[in-house]
Structure formats: C-alpha cells, structure tokens
Structure 1
C-alpha cells in the first residue's frame, strides 16, 4: 500500500570513532519514525588509528585515503549485513541505506583563504555492491553548496521526533561534539548549532592517562576539581563567542588544542573535571544565546547522555531546565544520529528537503544526498 511504512537503514560513525551504528527505521508519510532494530560494530583499532591520523595529518597520500575508505566501507557493510541477518530481513526489503560516512575534516568557512569544504570518507558505490541495497550518501555538500555550514543536519529529524506545541523543547546531542536544536513550541523554525566539544577531548585525555577508552559515568572527572584559570583560558576560544550558524570538529578541538592551553603541572583528574565543566558551560552558553533563562525541557541524546557527572554539571548550569533522556520518548539516546540518516535517505528518495536553513545558514531548503543503485 502507498502509505505503508518503508524500511530504511541509517549508518553513523561519529567523531568518537568508536564504531559504526546501524539503525533500522520504519518511515511513512504523516507518521512518526519508528526505530525497529539496531546493531553496532566496534571500530577496529587499526582503522581507528588510520582515521585519527587522517584527521590530524598535515598531508596525506591518495593511497592512505583509499585504504582507510575501503576498510571503513567494509565495516559499514558488515554492520548492515549483521543487522539484516539477525532480524531475517532480505536486502531487497530495504528501500535504502543512508550513509553519513566518516568525517575527517570539516571547514565550512574554508581554510587559509580557500573555499569551504567538508570531507566524509565514504564509498557508496562499493557499499551498494557489498550489501545489495540502494545507498543514499553525501548529504552534507549540497547544503554547503547553498552557502550553509553543512552541519548540524540532525535538527530536522529532531523536529520530526520531539516537537510539541505544549512546551519549549531543546535537543542536546552529546557525541564527540555537542550540538543543540531548539524546537519552538509555537511551530517556528528550529534553530541550532554546534556548541563545542563534548566527548572528544574527555575521551582523548582519558585514553592518554590510561583510564580506558572513555570516562565511564564521568567517575574520573568527578574525582577531580575544576581549575578555574584553565577553564577561563579554554572558554576564551573565539569559537565559543561566534554567533550561529556555526559548526566545528577535530580541526579545532583536538589534544594539541588542549595542550596549548595547559601551563604544566596540572593534575590529570583536575584537567578531566575542567573539560567536563567546559562542555557543560559551553552548552549552557549556547542555550542562553537562543532562549535566555526561560524554562525548557532539554532532551539529551548521544553517548554523553550516560555520563552522570556531565549531566549533573549541565543541571547546575541550567537550573530552569528539566533534563530528560531521549529514551523517555521511546527512542534510545544512542540511536538518534543513525536514525537521522535513515530519515534523510527517506527524504532524498521522496524529493523532500533535508536541511534547515535556519540552522545551517543555507540559502534555502535543499534535497540532500546522491543515490547509488545496488
């Protein structure tokens, strides 16, 4: 039937580089998206190292790019195949796979006087070949071509999931980086932008000091004390004071950026606490830019939603906000981003815009992505 839901798979590998998420989503006109099944494939250490090297390299060879892209595409294909196999779904039952790709550099304002660009490693042709599924990919560059930041793209999906005319809501994604989406209760255009680093620096500092891949529950940060002088230096970064639209990535916020602000001799636990406070303070600052001190419901998604210390810090900075997990709406906090790219693939195949000019600053609404047949 024409209005029966269609099956889409969204693929996402974020800036944390911890793996590929595959989300199976049912989508139909005039119906909310429904998350049916999920699968996560962890990032192999060799590939993670390759991708990190690309993110921070001054120069790379085409062979290095091709090798990383090839390995990443095979990881994506394994995630799709495992998801379908576990639930007994044939590839031809999936309308399309929406592939975000792996961002290795994002410079929407250009670099050194050059043109704007954003680079996601991806090979949708190979992904279609390996999975037998139609693939929709390269979502960001159409918005960029229209003068936008090409990020964040999830806010349009946030509106489809979470808008409510009864209250002011804001969605906070705490992935490698933090971004916010304001969903005005009067139905006005959503607004949103990247507020700064979330897990990217916390994870890197944790790994550097032998505390694992990430600071589980924020326990290490909670054991330290915020260094107010360091926090002030970090918050002086001009990015935090730019008006939206704005977006960022590892090009700016990376371990070298942090180290350039250290005076030496700081307690590692205190630095971790200060990084957690940096995330909370910059998120609160961004929310204040949009809503001032008005009451709101803050819906939290991404890996940082599980960080109790970080959530406590957010609550302290936002006393008039009610913090809730995306899980409360039946959509697990870890699966919003992957779900968004299933939804964006649906929008592309139905010739519907996927960006929000009020968020990205693009000249207008645009249909995003290219289509690759199996």
Structure 2
C-alpha cells in the first residue's frame, strides 16, 4: 500500500529548502513522486546567515522571528511539492522537517544543537502531522546528534554482496560506511568541509552562489603549503563519532590561514576543492577501506572537477553519484527525513549509535499533530 510522506531540509549551504514527496510502503522500494528546491527569500537568507555566524552576535528576538519565518517557508515548500505531485494534502501521512541548523556544538559543555523552522507553524499551515527536531533526542542519549542520514543510507543503498561507502557533499561532507551484510557495523561521520568554503569564496570574489562544475577552480593551481595547513586542522584527526559545521570551517577560519598569503583567488578556490577531496578520500581510506563502490550525493555530485579528484584519490573503487542506484543525488537528504518521519510514527529508532556515539538507539523527532480532518474545511 502507498504511504506518502514529505521531507524537508535546508542544509548548511542555505541555498534553498529541498522538498520531496515520497511513497514509502512498508514493503517494496520507495518512489520519489515530486521534488523541488524552494527558494529562500533574500531577507530571510541574510537573517539565517547572521544567526549561523557565531561572531555576528544575533539576539533572541532575531532568533524568534527567524524561527517563525522559516517555519512558514517550510510549510510553503511542503504545500508546493505536494501540489507538484498532484495529490491532496489529505493523502499525506506526515511531513519530516529537519529545519535549518543555525548552531551545532557537540563539543560544548553541555553539548547542544539548534535547528529552526517552527514545526507548529508547518503543521498548522499544512494541516499535516509534522515530525521535527530530529537531532535533540540522539544528543540527549549522549550522541553527536549527527549525522542522522546513515540509517536511511543503510536501508536504501546497503547490499549484502559488497561493501559500499556513501559520500554526501553538502556544505559539510560526511561519509557512511555500508559493509557487506554481517561484516561490520555501519559507521558515519562528518569528514570536514564539503562546499561551504568553496561557495563562500566564489560568492566573495565573483558574486556567484557556487562554482558550477568546478569551472573556476579548474583555472587555478593547488597551493601546496596552504593545502597542508588546511589538512592539519585537528578536527580531521579526531576519531569517530564526530560531527562539525560551518561554525568551525567558517570564513574566519579560512582567513586565519590566508593572513600571510598572497595568491590569485582562483588558486585559493582550486586549493579549497582539493582540501575537500583529500579530506574525504582520507576518511574513506581510514574507515571504509574495504568499500568497492562509492556513491556520491548532495550538491558536490554536480562538481565535475571534485568528482574527478575523488575518483583519482580513491583508485580501485567505482565512484558514481547515487543516480546509478536509482536515487537522484539532489534529494537524498530530504528523502531521508521523510523516511525518518515514518520511522518515528512507527515507533522505530532512527539513529545508529555506532554513528552518532549515542548510548542507545532512540526514536527521533517530536510529533506535531496536523488538523483533525473532521473539522470544518473552512477552518483550513
């Protein structure tokens, strides 16, 4: 039987709200019925960037306002993707909303994480039960609260006959090791920056949101001294489980490495791309050495130069994007939160403790009921 769930996420790149409508039957393969990137208005984008910058000193009023505005935006995205699929909101079981991360501090004392996009607003505006705030329960159980997508990776991309690794390259990059059945536990963690430093650099110098296909980076040269300094960042040497964010790999972090350097902007861009590729490849070699297939998803899958470098740095592995497995690489994370919403409503744990470091497997997300379908429809 069909079971329709919507999934919503705005990642660390903050370029759009990724929205999907997925058919998730208990038996049989999932199907993505519709997907879209719902734009974030410039004013709200500026607010979110300010909130996510620890140096900006944003106040509680700014946080509260952005939480409401982001919730309304996510609700609009959910309604838009449901309309694009040509189905009624009454046919949708639930919405899984990751929200927008504005701070992730697993190393703090006490550790905390903060995603905004008020789920009450989403449930009220759409009338659909909404599952949100997924990271908090894992963190309450002693975990990092991230990454949470590996459980979905295991369900969709795992194979009994071969070991695989999934590489998600959003603003931050993370990997999921999927060993052949019964060989070893699934593990996953953030490897370091994905697109965040490259996007910030090209936005600063060329007023573009991202380096399409790595075209600008292709014009530059690798600055080896800078690359070695970047690769010496202590985070990269930490054992798993671990997670990070643009709070660490920030523009200020990069500027500190560039303070005594004179170089062409395109050389910096090329070096940042190499930093992303090598930090990912090192993590794969260290933690997923037996993998024979690497499946790439996220925006980085569209960067041709980055994909070329990953293939060159990981010889002996077949490197493709997840489309080779029938799943569009742009929508994997949004689909994961639709899936996590289903798991929560079914009372099943959504984390993997070996991934996050939690003491136990836990049900993720708070449940915010939709409108009672028996109400007068004029109230909607």
TM-score range for the pair, normalised by the shorter chain length: over 0.9
Deviations 1:89-141 (A, max 9, x none): 2212110000001000101121xxx3000000121111111111110001001
The reply to whether residue 5 of structure 1 matches residue 2 of structure 2 is: yes
Alignment of 1:174-253 (within 5 A): 174-187=169-182, 188-253=184-249
| TM-fit CA distance, 1:267 | 1.1
Picking from 89, 96, 99, the partner of 2:97 is 99
Task: Give the conservation status (yes or no) of the 8 Å contact 1:295–1:320.
Answer: no
| TM-fit CA distance, 1:70 | 1.7
Task: Give the conservation status (yes or no) of the 8 Å contact 1:104–1:121.
Answer: yes
Instruction: Please provide the CA RMSD for this pair.
Output: 1.1
| TM-fit CA distance, 1:211 | 4.8
SS of match in other structure, 1:352: coil
SS of match in other structure, 2:144: coil
CA distance in 1 between counterparts of 2:181 and 2:83 reads 43
TM-score under structure 1 length normalisation: 0.96
Query: Could you list the runs of 5+ residues in structure 2 that have no partner in the other structure?
Result: 371-380
| TM-fit CA distance, 1:85 | 2.0
Instruction: Specify the alignment match of 2:68 in structure 1.
Output: 70
CA distance in 2 between counterparts of 1:88 and 1:325 reads 28
CA distance in 1 between counterparts of 2:92 and 2:291 reads 41
SS of match in other structure, 2:348: coil
CA distance in 1 between counterparts of 2:35 and 2:82 reads 10
CA distance in 1 between counterparts of 2:31 and 2:180 reads 22
Q: How many residues align?
A: 367
Deviations 1:290-347 (A, max 9, x none): 133x451000000000000101111111112110111111110000000000000000
SS of match in other structure, 1:300: strand
Alignment of 1:324-339 (within 5 A): 324-339=320-335
Deviations 1:20-56 (A, max 9, x none): 0111111122333221111221122111111111111
Task: Give the conservation status (yes or no) of the 8 Å contact 2:171–2:195.
Answer: yes
Query: Could you list the runs of 5+ residues in structure 1 that have no partner in the other structure?
Result: none
CA distance in 1 between counterparts of 2:342 and 2:244 reads 26
Task: Give the conservation status (yes or no) of the 8 Å contact 2:164–2:177.
Answer: yes
CA distance in 1 between counterparts of 2:181 and 2:326 reads 24
CA distance in 1 between counterparts of 2:300 and 2:288 reads 22
The reply to whether residue 352 of structure 1 matches residue 374 of structure 2 is: no
